[in-house]
């Protein structure tokens, strides 16, 4: 069996789902394929910066008017080796980093489009291969349990994340900015006795750091930094042992909170931190976007925001070419235009993300001296302006992105 579409998108994360929604609403017959039958079965970043919020709103999904679990973070309490350092109100115009349930958001996008015949969602369908014609990819080979079929499309997009099957099948060349950390993510009930509502908690600890945003469902999302590749050793210690290690470097009240919930932590996941970028984002008729094209680290909660902004720019370029018949060379040129428009922001954000993890993990004495004295240093206008500049870049993005089609 072979099904035919205008566009086939591999991966129904925020970027893929957003792009499929835009294209289908413009009358473009779109297939959106997702290997998971349940969105909650796969770890997905949940931090939405103001840039991501505006991008989703631009597409038609205003998080303030959608009934899904969201927690706004408007402040950060910073600690150094368990000792209070400073409290900071987030310097954003809308004052929020939103922690959003990705399964709920994705289900909302899918359900919103269910009445559109141009929006075709294949849940639990895995792309296992590609099909060629004249040395160019014209389709995808799809499997769902025991059923196999082919999808043919004029445009094929890989929005399928850091383990992208399309990136592997086509052997895209990448540049790898080697990282030295991984992150253990887990959740505990929100420590109201320690943090005000909507407050993130950051703790620089010996040999690393912790970042803990306020999460929906009255929970605290904890990100604990470990040496890259060391999770097996951590796991062998047992949950109680590594929680005890965290407690040793935490503020006393938070240590007591963890003690209370030992054995009751949830949503455990180990993220293999990487920062990579394909040297070219398109090849033989396939375009990669989101983490498939440029893997982001957790620093600055950029994954969702960059992916959705990729989707908007891609739609701006792809929708017009469907107004007429287009050649392979015209499509390739369109792919390159999308890459060229997105590359400056991706490069700048990745270049920023490379620095903090290495600095905090290696604990350079000069860097640590600066961190310990942040309450004093940030009293100087020049320093505040420098920090604010970085905050604004991560909050609002580098380039202007608006949906124009």
Partners of residue 133 on adjacent β-strands: 136
What's the residue count for the chain?
405
CA dihedral 381, 75, 274, 387 (to 10 degrees): 0
Q: Which residues have a Cβ under 8 Å from the Cβ of 12 and sit 6 or more positions away?
A: 20, 32, 33, 34, 39, 106, 110, 121, 123, 159
Written as one string, the DSSP assignment of 112-163 is HTTT-TTEEEEET-EEEEEEEETTEEEEEEEEETTEEEEEEEEEEEE---TT
- Could you tell me the sign of the dihedral formed by the alpha carbons of 18, 20, 21, 25, in that order? positive
End-to-end CA distance of the chain: 33
Domains of the chain by residue range: 2-177+274-396, 181-271
65 contacts 15 by C-beta, under 8 angstroms: no
**Domain 2-177+274-396 coded CATH 3.50.50.60:** yes
Residue 9 confidence (pLDDT): 98
Give, for all 405 residues of the chain, the pLDDT tens digit. 889 999 999 999 999 999 999 999 999 999 999 999 888 877 777 899 999 999 999 999 999 999 999 999 999 999 988 899 889 887 766 767 899 999 999 999 999 999 999 999 999 999 999 999 988 999 999 998 878 999 999 999 999 998 899 999 999 999 988 887 788 889 999 999 999 999 999 998 877 788 999 999 999 999 988 887 777 777 777 777 888 888 888 899 999 999 988 878 888 888 888 889 999 999 999 999 999 999 988 877 888 999 999 999 999 999 999 999 999 999 999 999 999 999 999 999 998 887 766 655 556 676 777 777 777 777 778 877 877 777 787 888 888 999 999
Rg (CA), the chain: 22
Residue 362 confidence (pLDDT): 59
Residue 189 confidence (pLDDT): 94
What string of H, E and C letters represents the secondary structure of 44-59?
CCCEECHHHHHHHHHH
pTM of the model: 0.92
The two domains 2-177+274-396 and 181-271 share their CATH topology (first three levels equal): no
Assign a CATH topology to domain 181-271.
Answer: D-Amino Acid Oxidase; Chain A, domain 2 (3.30.9)
Question: What letters, b where the CB count within 10 A reaches 16 and e where it falls short, cover 60-76?
Answer: ebebeeeebbbbbbbbb
Task: Report the distance separating Cα 209 and Cα 165, nearest Å.
Answer: 33
Task: Report the distance separating Cα 12 and Cα 120, nearest Å.
Answer: 11
261 contacts 253 by C-beta, under 8 angstroms: no
């Amino acid at each position: 069996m072979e099904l035919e579409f205008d566009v086939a998108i591999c991966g129904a994360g925020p970027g893929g789902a957003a792009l499929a929604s835009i294209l289908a609403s413009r009358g473009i017959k779109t297939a959106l394929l997702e290997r998971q039958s349940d969105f909650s079965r796969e770890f997905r970043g949940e931090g939405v910066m103001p840039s991501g919020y505006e991008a989703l709103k631009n597409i038609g999904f205003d998080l303030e008017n959608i009934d899904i679990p969201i927690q706004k973070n408007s402040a950060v309490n910073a600690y150094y080796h368990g000792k209070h350092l400073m409290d900071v109100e987030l310097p954003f115009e809308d004052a929020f980093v939103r922690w959003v349930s990705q399964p709920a958001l994705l289900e909302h996008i899918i359900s919103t489009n269910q009445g559109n015949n141009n929006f075709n969602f294949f849940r639990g369908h895995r792309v296992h291969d590609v099909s060629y014609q004249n040395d160019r990819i014209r389709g995808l080979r799809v499997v769902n349990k025991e059923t196999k079929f082919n999808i043919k499309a004029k445009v094929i997009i890989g929005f399928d994340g850091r383990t992208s099957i399309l990136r592997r099948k086509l052997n895209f060349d990448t540049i790898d900015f080697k990282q030295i950390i991984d992150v253990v993510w887990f959740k505990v009930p929100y420590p109201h006795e320690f943090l005000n509502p909507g407050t993130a908690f950051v703790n620089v600890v010996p040999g690393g750091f912790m970042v803990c945003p306020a999460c929906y469902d009255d929970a605290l999302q904890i990100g604990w930094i470990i040496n890259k590749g060391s999770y097996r050793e951590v796991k062998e210690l047992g949950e109680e042992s590594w929680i005890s290690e965290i407690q040793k470097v935490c503020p006393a009240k938070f240590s007591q909170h963890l003690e209370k919930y030992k054995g009751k932590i949830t949503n455990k996941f180990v993220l293999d931190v990487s920062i990579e970028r394909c040297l070219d984002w398109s090849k033989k008729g396939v375009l990669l976007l989101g983490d498939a094209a440029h893997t982001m680290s957790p620093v600055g909660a950029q994954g969702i925001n960059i992916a959705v902004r990729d989707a908007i720019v891609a739609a701006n370029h792809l929708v017009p070419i469907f107004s007429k018949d287009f050649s392979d060379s015209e499509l390739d040129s369109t792919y390159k235009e999308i890459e060229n428009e997105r590359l400056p922001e991706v490069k700048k954000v990745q270049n920023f993300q490379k620095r903090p993890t290495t600095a905090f993990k290696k604990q350079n004495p000069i860097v640590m001296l600066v961190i310990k004295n942040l309450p004093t240093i940030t009293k100087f206008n020049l320093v505040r302006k420098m920090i604010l500049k970085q905050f604004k870049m991560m909050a609002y993005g580098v380039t202007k992105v608006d949906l124009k089609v």
